[in-house]
Structure formats: structure tokens, C-alpha cells
Structure 1
């Protein structure tokens, strides 16, 4: 942005110099033609006309360069802010992300695009006002001091009304952004819930609420536009009155012979140049206000989601993991509630219990994605919250209930989080090798969104192959045998036992007796914690 401001200021200096020079040259050209009939020929003024055309050309080129640089700066600034915002938001815990999802979605998809008018129109115009207006007043004073005094008296009224109108517009912009965010979140919730609404026969109900929200957003937008039009009218009226006062003063003094024609025309031609940047600033301020409001909210969100300083780096290959009276507050109380358990290297620990008891939340706490309300998760003697999370995650292989898949080949999905130590062996351990042989293009078979092209069981085995091939010292598996038949379930459980015998600390979430049987330790959580060896 420093380079952009410097380039914008440089173009502004060139535009200012060309504009003032054009006014002076044109005034002397007209004065000469009017006062000296003998010079009324094209040949006499050919050099002056070429100078005038050159100045106009320089001004046009400088304005084009300023607009081009502003577009590039706007694109770069918006992209950078979007990247930082996405990085900050996606680094939040699941609960914090859910709380800020709607606000972040509005800012990234639409809100920050409002910054483009700020960078491309408002900022160059503001720079131009700082350079052109004072320079034009100074040159006007050199030719006609009285006109400069009149302009100096009328000029402060423009920024005064700009400030008063801007205060009202800022509130309107914030209200408009809030209405847009509410409407978008309602739409997202409605779209995601359409299958459920259709299943229970309520698909035709929520559109009335959406209509009401859309009407509220429309009213807010129209109120902002009304203020914009009225403020533009006020600023144009003030500027027009200022130029009219200069014209009346110059005209009266010309009649009485108190001023030369060239000086009078110079003052008259420079008067619009004095007011023009300020009129543009007032007009562009409203166009940029929505973007500025979104930018302020983005920076506030970035401050809330600032990444904490890097924690300690530890190796977990021989470290035990302990849940020390861990409780995490939820909608219906703590889940888990005072969970105390240990996960040792070389063993399989099974976490079981009723739905909603906090089994998956315990994994989130172990991963550092959720902070316990009380208690702590220890890796060796270190609290997970003090670790460098990226280094900590590099030692963990995690299979969530809904594994991640991207549109692409099977190979790309297997290596989604990095190359596998032994792809063939990983596929054999997960029972995915027979799936590969059945696919038309093997590992190069293209999958759609969320693994479309594979059955649920095949997707589960693909995710398991990705986990086994990572060769991490900690394995976290949430319902690893979901969607698998008995034979494949037994095969996967043997592979889990094999990974533990090779030294990995394995934590499995499961309900079925066959999963409980594979554990060296079974931890039942619910109302109270019960550990079975």
C-alpha cells in the first residue's frame, strides 16, 4: 500500500500540474483572441494549441495510469485481506468457527469486495484533493487574490458537510452489512436444511422469513442511497455557489476595469478545479463506505482470531497422553465431564459411551481445537494448549467421522495430506487394495465432490489407507469401521492392533463390542468415567 500511495501521489502531482497549466494557457489564449483581433488566426496560436493538446494528453495518460495502478492495488489488498481472514478463521476451534461462520462468509464472499471503490476511486480522489486544491488556490491567488479569498471562504463548507453526512452514512453502512449477513446466514441454513424440511413436509414455510429479511435489506440499502443522493446534491450546490461567487466577482471587476482579462479567466477556470476534488471525495466516500465498514469488521475479526505465539516443540514418540479431569462446556452441560484417562504408546485405548457424552469433543481437546473448560490434556508433562499446534498435528493421524475428500484422482485423495510412506502397504492394511483393482483407471480414477464415485464403505477404507500410510506416532480414529461389513471390519481392527504393536499410541472411538474387544483399555464416559483393562 505504501508503493500504491506513492504511485498515486506521483500521478496526482502530474495531473495537478497539467490541470493548472491547462487553465493558465487556455486563459491567456482566450484573452489574446478577445483583446487582439489581429491574432485571430490558427497559425498565430499553433504553438499554444499544441502545448494545450500536450497538456491534455499528459493529464489523460496520468489519470489512466492512476486508475490502472489503483485496480492492481485493490485486487492485491483484497486478496491479501481475504487470505489473512480465511487463515485466521479456519484456525479457530470448531465451536468458535461456528460462531463466526456467518460473519466471515459475508466478509469473504461480498463484504470485502466493497473495498474496490475505496482503492480505485476514493483514495486517488482524496490524494488529488490534497494536492490539486491547495495548488489551484495558490496559483489563483497569484493571478487574482480576491477570487482566492472568496474560494477560501466557501471551501471549508464542503468538508464540514461531508463530515456531517458521513457520520450518518457510516451507521447506515453498518446496518446494511448486518442485514446482508443475517440474510445470507438464513439462506445458508435454509439451503442446508432443505432435505430435512422436505422430509417433514415443511419446505414451503421458511420462504416468508427470507422475504421479510430481503425486504429489510432492501429498505436499509435504499435509505443509504437516499442519503448518498442528498449529500451529493448538497456538495454540488456548495461547489456551484462557490464557483458562481467567483464568476460574479470577476465579472463585476472586469466591467469596472479592476482586473485584467487573462487573470480573470485564469481565476474563473481554476475555480472548478479547486472544488472538483472535494466534490469527488464526497461522492466517492459513500461508494467506499460499505467496503470500509467491512474492512473494519475484518480487522476486528483478525484481532480476535490472532494466532497465539508458537508453543513448545516436543516429540511424542515415547510420550504418554493424559486427560486430567477434562470437562468441556456444551449446550446441555459438560461433555465430557471430568474425563481422566491415559493413552500410552504401543496400546489401543477405546473411548466409548452414549451419544452426546463428549467422545469426539475429547479428541478435539487432544488436538488443541477445543480448550477444556476445566482440567487439561497433557502430552508428557506439557499442556496441549502450550504446544506449537502445527508441529503437534504433524505427529498425529486423525480419522474423523466425516473424512475429507476433494475432486480429483484416487491417488490425489490418498496423498491429500502428504505423500504416504508405503502406498501399497497402506492400502492393504485398510483393505482398499481390492477397491483399486475394481476401479476403471485404478489410482488415476477421478472422484467427484466428497468422494462421489465410491460407496460409503470404499470412502471409509480410502480414509483409513491415508491414515495408516502416514506412519504417525499417534492415531486418532472416530468410528473407524463405520459402513464396513464384518470381514472388512475385522481386517481393519487387526491393522489397528498392528499399528499399536509397532509403537503408535492409538485412541479409538466406538460403540460395538467388536471394537471394545480390540482395546487394551476401554474408557466408558457418560455420567461417570469407567476404565476397563
Structure 2
């Protein structure tokens, strides 16, 4: 069992404790019923006077009670397994979502596909792991040793034979399991790639249809589907072959013990009661191990998904501790002290130092890839710089309590975040606006509302389907301008806007700055640069090196 499951989920600990109790009860009932049944059968065979049902009524009642208790324990263990699996899947899914969404936008984009597969489908593979594999594993650790000990009490020769044949099953299980683990990892990787391609295809299908390319990607999707099918079928082949091998080994083990007992019974070297008891107990020695081998393959997909989940969650001890300090952003100076963030194309921005004053419009400009958007993300506390720091009133962003700092920000990324729902719900996505009507007028979104069939109650699709790019930009601007946050961070706010609307938005930003708000804008067009009280040129390390060269 993966010890990280034990540590990560309280539901696992409760499930294991209950399963151990059920395993003890099952083992006790199995051994006791074998002993009782052997005594009944041997007595009936050797003593004709005991062949009446009335004579054995009390003992038969005990045997029936043992079988009933064993059946009830199996049922309870299966029920607990289902409940435990549901609880663990929910807990791990929540931990994966919390861990992934708390990361920087760049890392989130890189891990999005893996997280989507793990949360939506991958962790469902843990259900057979908890309902079948773990109960079999626990039962093997309890019932198998207990049965061997009971056999040793009745017949030591049979114990020696069991000790010789029993290790063969774990040895073959390990050999088969090593091959299956690689197959399961390959199947999960194929499913991840397939789902990511399907999601991207569905998201871009309108664009592909508009360009007449909708009929192209199905070949690649078919290839990925075939790869996933081949991987899954290879795992199933190994599962069926391994089940055959384990069943054969267990059968041979029981047969060897049975032949030994039969020969000794013929020559009178042991009693019938002891022989029958050992014969009834021997299958319980091999049965839990056979179950482990059979259920192992069904659980491998879940274990592979759990590995991926823990990789996404990461080590909480290794995570940088979050700050606890708070500052009032109203009227505070934001300082950039030799700020740098390493990326695929080098450090961008590189050694950026500046002061962002309240009550002013600060424009960040520079070439594409210079790090303007990264600078905004660093100010928002969404991206941790690799060098330098960002301060607010002299306090580093890393030392601030994230939630308290985010409540004082209004951030507009290049693509405004829109969710399926009404226009009104999207406007209030980050909190109720002080004056919805004024915000819509300032952003030019009032004209869009007038053209919508149901006004503010018009329902939008995923990503703002139902609005054009310019209309989505206006909605995001209305949400930002209507916020009462003392710091506005806007990344290319006038993109996709006509000249008239652009002037209206820029005038609204200037007005917000005059009211004491700290306004930071990313832009490079002349109208945007014209409203800046201060224009800061952002550059990357590559650009600085090229300039020096």
C-alpha cells in the first residue's frame, strides 16, 4: 500500500481500521468453521451412531452462525470499501484541484491536461483498488498466516509442504506486477494525451469549421485511440495470463498437500479429523494470495492515477510558506526591485526596478516577450520572481497574506475570465460592483447590453460564447472599472476595441487614477502611452544582451 494514501486521507485510515477488523472476523470464522466441519464429517464417517441430524443440531447451529458471520463480514467489508473509495477519490480530487489552481499561470497551463485527466477519470480507478485489492491484501496478511498456524497445530508435514509451495505465488506476482505497472503507466499517458487532444479539438471546432479544416484532426484522434486501445488490451492479456498462472500454482499447492494427506491416511499415519481439517484449511492459505494477483491488475490504473495525483499535489513541506502580513494598498507605493523571472526564453523581465505611485497611471511597455504580463502577475502575487522582489509599502509581496492582498486588486488579463452563465453573473464574478450601470458605460458595454436579446440575463457559453472578442473585452473592462479595489492591473485593456471605445476606456482609467487608485496598464499603442503619468520600458535579458552587442 502506498503510505502517502495513509497520510493524505483520513478516510483511508478509517477504512483500513475497519477492514482489519473485518479481516480478523473473516479469518476467525474461516478457521473455526473448518475445524467444526471436519469434526462433524469425521465423526459421521467413523461413528454410525452419530449420523442423526438431531445429534448434531447444536454443532450445526454453531457452524451456520460462523458461515453467517463470515458472509456478513465480507458484505460489510465490501460496503466499507465502496464508501472509503468514494471518500478518498473526493479528498484526493480536492487536493489536486487546490494544489494545481494555487500555482502560477505558466505552471498551471503545463499541468492542466494531467490534472483534468486525474480528476475527471483517472482517480476513478482507485475504486477497484479499495473495494477489491486492499481487502484482499489485508486478508492475505491475516488469513494466510492464521491458516498456516492452524495447519501447523494439526500436521507439521503439511505445514512444510505449504511453506515450500506458498512463496511461488508472491514471486510470480512480483514478476508479473513489474510488467503490468509499466503497461498501466503507458495506458494513463495515452489516455491523458487523447483527452487533451479531444478537449482542444472540441474547443477549436468552430474555428476549424470556419477555416474548412474540421475534417483533418480525426486521423490523429483515431491514432491516439488505437494507441490507448492497444495499451489497454496488452494489460488485459497480462491480467488473464497471470490469473491462469496463479490459479495453476495454487491448485498444484493444494494438490500436493492433498496427496500427502491421502497417502498418510491410507497407511494410518494420521487421524481422519486432522486430515480433513488440514484439507479444509489449505485452500484458505492460497485463496487470499490468488485474489491479490487477480485484483492487482484492476487496481493498477488507480495506483498509476494516484502516483500522478501525488506528483501534482507535491510535497506540502517543500512548498514555500505563505505570508501572513497585511497592508493597506490605498495610497501605498508598489516597488519593483531588480525584478526577474526565468522562463523558456530566458529571464523576462530582467533586473526591472521601478516605483509605481498611487494616483497615477503607470504604463508598462516593451517588446513582445519582454515580461510585461509576467510583471503584472508578480505584482498580483500569482508568479513568484526568481530574482528581486515586489514590495507594497515596503513589505514584500511574498510576505503578504494572498487572500487579503487579492481582495485589494482588480486584475484584467489579456483574455478576460468568463464562465457559463448570465452576463450579470459574469459581471459580479469577483464581487458585486459599486455601480454596474456606470461601469458598463465607462467600458462601452452598455451598447452591447442593449443589443443582447435578454440584456443582463442573456446566458453565455463556455469562455464567453455568444459574445465577440471585442464584446468580451468590454465585459472584462466593465468588471474591472466597476471594482472598488485600490489597485487596478490591466493587461492590454484596449485590445479588440474600436478607437471611440478605446478613448472612453482610457478616459475612465485616468479618472480612476485621479481618485487615488493605483493604475498599472500594459500597452504599446500610442493612445495608451499618452495617458501614462509614467512609462516604464520592460526588457528581457536577451534583449539587453542584444543591445549591448
TM-score, length of structure 1 as denominator length: 0.88
8 Å contact from structure 2 (residues 322, 398) kept in 1: no
1:34 Cα offset (Å): 2.1
Aligned length, in residue pairs: 528
Which aligned pairs between 1:21-60 and structure 2 lie closer than 5 A?
Answer: 21-60=32-71
Distance apart, 1:136 and its partner CA: 1.6
Deviates more, 1:435-444 or 1:169-178: 435-444
Q: Does 1:215 align with 2:220?
A: no
For residue 44 of structure 1, give the secondary structure of its aligned residue in structure 2. helix
The aligned residue for residue 104 of structure 1 is: 115
What's the offset of the Cα at 1:361?
Answer: 2.7
Counterpart of 1:308 (choices 307, 320, 331) is 320
Question: What's 1:359 paired with?
Answer: 372
How many angstroms does 1:120 deviate by?
1.1
- Change in Cα spacing, 1:3 to 1:442, as seen in structure 2 (3 Å) is same
CA RMSD of aligned residues (A): 3.0
CA distance in 1, matches of 2:479, 2:324: 27
The 3 A distance-change label for structure 1 pair 333 and 249 is: closer
1:285 pairs with 2:285: no
Relative to the length of structure 2, the TM-score reads: 0.86
Following superposition, the deviation at residue 348 of structure 1 comes to: 1.0
Structure 2 partner of 1:520: 533
Counterpart selection for 1:66 from 52, 77, 80: 77
The SS at the match of 2:489 is strand
* CA shift for structure 1 position 253: 1.9
Q: In terms of mean alpha carbon deviation, does 342-351 or 408-417 score higher?
A: 408-417
Shift of 1:183: 3.5
For residue 24 of structure 1, report the CA deviation from its aligned partner.
Answer: 1.9
Question: How many Å separate the matches in 1 of 2:340 and 2:208?
Answer: 34
Q: 1:295-338: CA deviations, max 9, x gaps?
A: 22322332268642012524122322233444445555554455
Does residue 163 (structure 1) correspond to residue 196 (structure 2)? The answer is no
CA contact (8 A) 2:133 2:299 kept: yes
Q: What is the CA-CA distance between 1:416 and the residue it aligns to?
A: 1.6
The whole-number CA distance in structure 2 between the counterparts of 1:190 and 1:461 is: 27
Q: Which residue number corresponds to residue 518 of structure 2?
A: 505
2:331–2:359: 8 Å Cα contact kept in structure 1?
Answer: no
Tell me, which stretches of 5 or more residues in structure 2 are unaligned? Answer: 1-11, 545-549
- How many angstroms does 1:10 deviate by? 0.8
Match runs of 1:260-339 below 5 Å: 260-303=271-314, 307-315=319-327, 316-330=329-343, 332=345, 334-339=347-352
CA distance in 1, matches of 2:153, 2:349: 80
Task: Please report how far the alpha carbon of residue 292 of structure 1 lies from its aligned counterpart in structure 2 after TM superposition.
Answer: 1.7
Distance 1:170 1:229 in 2: 15
1:57: Cα distance to partner? 1.8
Q: Which residue of structure 1 aligns with residue 547 of structure 2?
A: none
CA contact (8 A) 1:353 1:511 kept: yes
Q: Indicate yes or no: 2:25 matched with 1:14.
A: yes
Report the counterpart of residue 531 of structure 1 in structure 2. none
Tell whether the 8 Å contact from 1:169 to 1:224 is kept in structure 2 after alignment. yes
CA 1:300 to 1:460, structure 2 compared with 1: closer, same or farther past 3 Å?
closer
In 2: Cα distance, 1:219 partner to 1:260 partner: 55
Deviations 1:473-495 (A, max 9, x none): 11011233445455544443333
Q: Which secondary structure state, in structure 2, belongs to the residue aligned with residue 311 of structure 1?
A: coil
Deviation at 1:457, TM superposition (A): 4.8
Q: Is there any run of 5+ residues in structure 1 with no aligned partner, and where?
A: 529-533
Q: How does 1:198-277 map to 2 (within 5 A)?
A: 203-277=214-288
